[in-house]
Structure 1
């Protein structure tokens, strides 16, 4: 009788993040059994949580930045093709601006240091997707590596400038607050206007002229810039022109500019009503409190809410799901709640509806209380609650459990509000202590589920149970059961033996990697996300 070659034989699905060891050879920051990852997977998980220059619970900002640079240097030299795909995907699909920029800069620096020249220009260009980012790249390079700009850096930045610089981006991003303005970029890298943009030559010249105070006239080709200048001059005499929404849009006026020009001369509610049609989703949800405090009329609020709730608008915005949780908490009134709830649902559309029974275990330990970044009020515990609730709302049979020193089961309202469920879960943080007894929680909560999803920073305590040695998190679940680790912090020790049968690790703040979870859950291989 054949032991292996039977009709039920099937390939084991493989994910992109692999452990380099099949048994624990390291420990977490809290002493739990851990594995080492292959460098590219390590870099992927780290980049998806790396805000750059930000400390985490277990690492200082300098330690995190140094570890990130070291990983980038090694991978860029060993696998430049992978690095190019990674940088472009990290900036575009994953939405990590600073991490992508630093990855590109450090990859090129490492390669040039070793005399490796192919593909460096394209690496720089791939990381720059917004018009303020060419200046960001130059500022980072000069501050980190000095004023000598290698040709690949200059040419990559020049490519991005020709691709990204427009009249509206000039008006929005070319401000005196920037150390490197559009003109500085253009003069340093000698960017040439794009051949298919006849207006870009006049735009480049005007950017340089206004940087040096000689922009008395606006070139005829720059209609938006001219309209902006005319509207500003008119607003000095008659601020009421700022209530014309169509003129604001035609003049490329930002909401910050309009509020500054109007000052106290116009009612704030009327101003917001005229600005709102030109504002992007991120600007809208950041200003919900301002709308309420200004007394914005309900009919205007309804049009804003409709845009926030539009799945197509949310998909194009590429905002992290936690932005809608943050906006929900900041909004004083209830009139935005339903729209934000629908926006969150749209922003987590990639979270799969998994068949069978799923245990979702969310870390509520002390380390998870640290904030995502210094500018954000959202914590890693909030991220865990968000993804845990999102999975529970998608799944037919989901048991949602929080854990620290102990654990608690948390009910999810069928057909209810995801935001309310998240808030209810978050209120239980600290209920069962502040430690990270991950293994104990898994052993207590697992009851024959078809799969387990762990959302955590993965810094488990050493297991003090009856088993000999230090039982790993990965081994706390039967080997026949699919086990997904959703990593919120990107620390180097790995508690999931990813790459072994039924063990997978994903991470970050975006829902994009849940596409990988669905593929793996259905028994299909999932390669690097940018490979299709």
Structure 2
């Protein structure tokens, strides 16, 4: 009888989110598996919107994030620097990346000051590394001011040299006429001119116009009436629009709509310039200049203003363009939110296409796949603060987007929504992801083991999309005992030969199962890299951190 060359034999593979073997308790009382510091920081970072969640207050969550960054900035600076750069890049997480970079540099500067080791500045600890980390997380022109706001509010106005130089590097890359018009506003504590004064950025050698731009930014910050330099054509076009009498602006809009684009006019700026309602004519004029994300967020406004079907078709065509959707860097759940808030049906097909483009790397899994989607109270707003950044897209809906997309693409899916109880969700062949998401409800409690026990039936894999804060699962088995009652875990219910993939949506400290090997893996984030890991591991290849090639 063969012991090793069996049908279920597979190469042993590893994934980067790893548990240590130490256990604790989940917030709902089940055995929780403690992750190493890198794994804990990664999962927290990709789900960290600087807001509270059901089980953690915002300040507690922030403190844990900052503590982990500072710890790993000293223990593993190269890994942490790579995480922060990826987080703001492919990960598309803005605030967490900025806070992480600031705390990374502060921890290393403090340690250097306290150290008596003359070899502190070895590769990986060199001062240029701090500067590079700061520059790497600044990817939008308002972010140098954001980072200064964070640093000075916490550590005072004195800026260390690496912070100054990293911000100056980003300023050279990011400051242009359109960004000045969009982000240099009175609502900001640090205007472009303030940033320039503090970091002393020099114009980039390959941008001869940037010296004029910097001078103008300083002039406008200090209320100077200096004329706009001739090389700054976009600013001159905006000045032309601004100088137009209010009673003549509607006529300019009708006769010279192309001037709006030349003047770098956003829809928000147009609304203020008109000093009147954004009617169909105004939207029709500005829509060609709007980005894809701005279009998706204004579908209700377009309908309420009564834009024509021809204009709506232009918008829909941009949503259907895979390249434009990719450039927008919109998370998949943003397209669900646009669909949810769009009043008319004329946007539905285009939004379905856009969502599919954003989910292009969700794998098409062969065989039978059990997909469990957490619909417990901790995944919804109202019970806590599980809504990122106070938006209207709770973790439950983000989980449903991924679960539905995975199910629609799978060869033989069993899609289940669960809390303390669970039920199957019918997946029509070739159906709509958006319509499938609408079928999900809300269920009290969280019990992953019970859902697995009820629905696992020889599947080829199990995928659980959850915050992992499960109850123990009170089902008799040969499982270990807790509190006088039997505690069932996934390993008691799913053979070790069947992979279990846990998608962590909230980044809490304790996981619901071991991970990192043995066909038990945990992941976080809804990025392209996250979508690729399941087939990678099933092909017998180790999964790496997303920034590792």
Q: Is the 8 A contact 1:55 1:61 kept in 2?
A: yes
Structure 1 segment 511-526 matched on structure 2, within 5 A:
511-526=528-543
Contact between 2:246 and 2:275, CA under 8 Å: does it hold in 1?
Answer: no
2:391 maps to 376
Q: Displacement of 1:207 after TM fit?
A: 0.3
The residue that corresponds to 1:256 in the other structure is: 268
Partner residue of 2:135 out of 122, 125, 128: 125
Tell me what 2:48 maps to: 50
Which region of structure 1 is more displaced relative to structure 2, 452-461 or 83-92?
A: 83-92
Match of 1:429 in 2: 442
Q: Distance in 1 between matches of 2:64 and 2:491?
A: 24
- Label 1:516 to 1:245 Cα distance change in 2 as closer, same or farther (>3 A): farther
Compare 297-306 and 500-509 and name the one that shifted more: 500-509
Deviations 1:6-59 (A, max 9, x none): 9997641211111111xx61110001111111111111111000001x110000
Q: Distance in 1 between the 2:353 and 2:68 partners?
A: 38
Partner of 1:315: 326
Deviations 1:486-512 (A, max 9, x none): 111000001121112111111124454
What's the C-alpha RMSD, in Å, of the aligned pairs? 1.9
Once residues 386 and 9 of structure 1 are traced to their aligned partners in structure 2, the CA distance between those partners, rounded to angstroms, is 33
Deviation of 1:96 (Å) = 0.2
> Contact 2:502/2:523 (CA < 8 Å) preserved in 1?
yes
Distance (Å, rounded) in 1 between the aligned partners of 2:354 and 2:525: 19
Aligned position for 1:334: 345
Q: CA deviation at 1:220?
A: 1.2
Per-residue CA deviations over 1:423-471 (Å, capped at 9, x if unaligned) read 122xx223xxx11111011011100000000000000002222133233
Asked if the contact 1:484–1:506 (Cα under 8 Å) also holds between the matched residues in 2, the reply is yes
Q: 2:82–2:547: 8 Å Cα contact kept in structure 1?
A: yes
- For residues 137 and 267 of structure 1, do their structure 2 counterparts lie closer, same or farther at Cα, with a shift above 3 Å needed? closer
- Which of 492, 496, 503 is matched with 1:486 structurally? 503
3-state SS of 2:369 partner: strand
Structure 1 residues 491 and 252, CA, compared in 2 at 3 Å: closer, same or farther?
same
SS of the aligned residue for 1:338 comes to helix
**Contact 1:33-1:471 within 8 A present in 2 as well:** no
Task: Tell me the matched-pair count.
Answer: 523
Instruction: Give the structure 1 partner of residue 544 of structure 2.
Output: 527
In structure 2, the CA distance between the partners of 1:466 and 1:6, relative to structure 1 (3 Å rule), is: closer
Provide the residue aligned with 1:26 in structure 2.
24
* Residue matched to 1:103: 100
Q: How does 1:224-239 map to 2 (within 5 A)?
A: 224-234=234-244, 236=246, 238-239=248-249
Change beyond 3 A, Cα 1:2–1:475: closer
Is residue 17–residue 498 contact of structure 1 (8 Å, CA) maintained in 2?
Answer: yes
- Quick check: 1:166 aligned with 2:183? no
Change in Cα spacing, 1:462 to 1:511, as seen in structure 2 (3 Å) is same
Alpha-carbon distance in 2 for matches of 1:20, 1:79: 17
Q: How does 1:81-480 map to 2 (within 5 A)?
A: 81-115=78-112, 117-118=126-127, 119-234=129-244, 236=246, 238-239=248-249, 240-243=251-254, 244-264=256-276, 268-370=279-381, 371-425=386-440, 428-430=441-443, 434-467=444-477, 468-469=480-481, 470-480=487-497
Shift of 1:345: 0.6
Which residues of structure 2 form unaligned runs of 5+? 113-124, 482-486
496, 502, 515: which one aligns with 2:513: 496
8 A Cα contact 2:90 2:527, kept in partner: no
Tell me the residue number matched to 1:38: 36
4+ residue runs over 4 A deviation: 1-10
The answer to whether the Cα contact below 8 Å between 2:387 and 2:394 also exists between their aligned partners in 1 is: yes
1:245 deviation in Å?
3.2
C-alpha contact (below 8 Å) 1:362/1:384 kept by paired residues: yes
Asked whether the 8 Å contact 1:245–1:277 carries over to 2, the reply is no
Partners of 1:66 and 1:476 lie apart in 2 by 36
Which residue in 1 is equivalent to 2:120?
none
**Shift, 1:374, TM fit:** 4.4
**Greater mean alpha carbon deviation, residues 206-215 or residues 501-510:** 501-510
Segment of structure 1 superposing worse, 381-390 or 215-224 = 215-224
- 107 and 474 in structure 1: CA distance in 2 versus 1, 3 angstrom threshold: farther
| Residue pair 2:177, 2:213 contacting (<8 A) in 1 also | yes
Q: Secondary structure at the match of 1:191?
A: coil
Q: Secondary structure at the match of 1:82?
A: helix
Question: Alpha-carbon deviation of 1:349?
Answer: 0.8
User: How far is the alpha carbon of 1:2 from its aligned partner?
Assistant: 10
Residues 362 and 402 in structure 1, CA contact (< 8 A), matched pair in contact too: yes
Aligned-residue offset at 1:170: 0.6
Output the TM-score relative to the length of structure 2. Answer: 0.92
CA shift for structure 1 position 67: 0.4
Question: Per-residue displacement from partner, 1:110-144 (whole Å, max 9, x unpaired)?
Answer: 11110155310001001100000000000000112
Q: Is the 8 A contact 2:74 2:107 kept in 1?
A: yes
Q: Secondary structure at the match of 1:36?
A: strand
Distance 1:483 1:113, change over 3 A: same
